[in-house]
Amino acid sequence: MKPTHLLRMTIVFTFIAGGAIFYASQAQSQAFDVSEIKEILRKDNKITWHGYYEFEYWDSENKNNTFDAHKITTWMGVQLNKKAYFSAELEYEHAPKLPEERAGGSGEINLDSAQLRLMPFDDTVAYFGVFYVPFGIEYYSYPGHKNKLVSRPKVMKSGGVIPGTWSDVGFGVNQVIPNVAQVDLFLINGDARNGGVSRDSKAGGNNSKAFGARVMFDQFVEGVNIGASYTSGKWDEESENKSARLGAHLRIDSDIITQISYAPVLIAEYVSGSDEMDSSVNGKDKNVSGYYAQLSSSVHPKLEVVARYGEYNNDEDKTDNAKTETSVGLVWHMMEGVQAKVEYQWNEEEGAEKDNNQTAFQLVAFW
């Protein structure tokens, strides 16, 4: 590790440790978690609506400063009977306008989830349709009211290691092993190189399917989640070359374990893998890897401090391709259903001198 990286990580963790001396006398209200579908829909058979909104301002050294109506996400779920329920999540990004040629709109509309979930037995759920691929745990906390920073870790979003906000079409099974773990097995159209593929019969698809598995040991100790993920499938149209990823994750909610409100929360993930015959260096496989670690602490009932460090490389045979990111930020719980955040991020590229640090401000509404 370079001395500058070590110094920066020292500053980051000192920042968190310093904040932890403040005491929070009460716990903050919990935001809705779109992943808790099963528990919510077991309560009654009424249609449930939830969502969140993100408004941002970005001040970047190498781009125009800009306001952004980043995202409006709406979630709907309905219990069909005691064994079946349906849910869907629709996302409007960057102020989309239809048709696309209308002035002032350059956004997207994404159906990130639309799935039928069946519960044939207790602790067993089969899901069919569009769903977030069960790889790692970052997607559990990426919604604006769950993410402690404005940005997301690049190794899990835009760094070219795995697809960001990876949802795909297929089916899977989640099995809870009481007091031990939960396991997901899935089969999908897309792959770790291309991301989701809505239909393999269209351009960009192939005659192969990607399979995967994830295990989360989250039943032993409340507040601890440790596990691993794996996925593999053919990425090219001829179904000849494999794309594979292996990941490991760790989350420790020490505030839950210790019942001390300001005790820090640690989230860390590591991903590595390869895409056969896809390197920018001719005739080689593209090897990718990266990790991030994030610490946050509720230093006051209305204030959290957070820091994150990550490194990633989306083609290890390419010269000077390693990148790092370091972020520090604050979350202000302004009032019920409203948060404000600020983040400063340092970015570095191996072998290059670039001015691409950035500051971001965000308002989040959730219901």
List, for residues 20-44, the tens digit of each pLDDT value. Answer: 434 333 334 444 454 455 555 455 5
Supply the pLDDT for residue 102. Answer: 61
Supply the pLDDT for residue 44. Answer: 56
The pLDDT mean for the chain works out to: 88
d(CA 315, CA 134): 24
304-331 tens-digit pLDDT: 999 999 999 999 999 999 999 999 999 9
223: pLDDT confidence band, cut at 50, 70 and 90?
A: very high
Supply the pLDDT for residue 13. Answer: 47
At 187, list the tokens: 């089969």
Give ∠ CA 338-341-343 in degrees, rounded to 5: 165
pLDDT > 70 fraction of the chain, expressed in percent and rounded: 85
At 7, the amino acid letter reads L
At 194, list the tokens: 């291309």
Q: How many CA atoms lie within 13 A of 149 on its CB side?
A: 26
User: What fold characterizes domain 3-366?
Assistant: Porin (2.40.160)
Listed by start position, the domains of the chain span: 3-366
What's the whole-number mean pLDDT along residues 155-169?
93
- For residue 87, what are the CA distances in angstroms to 74, 115, 140, 307? 11, 6, 16, 33
At 180, the amino acid letter reads V
CB-CB contact of 350 with 326 (8 Å): no
Collect all residues with Cβ–Cβ distance below 8 Å to 224 and sequence separation of at least 6: 217, 218, 251, 252, 253, 257
What's the whole-number mean pLDDT along residues 80-92?
95
What's the whole-number mean pLDDT along residues 217-234?
96
d(CA 73, CA 147): 14
Q: What is the pTM of this model?
A: 0.85
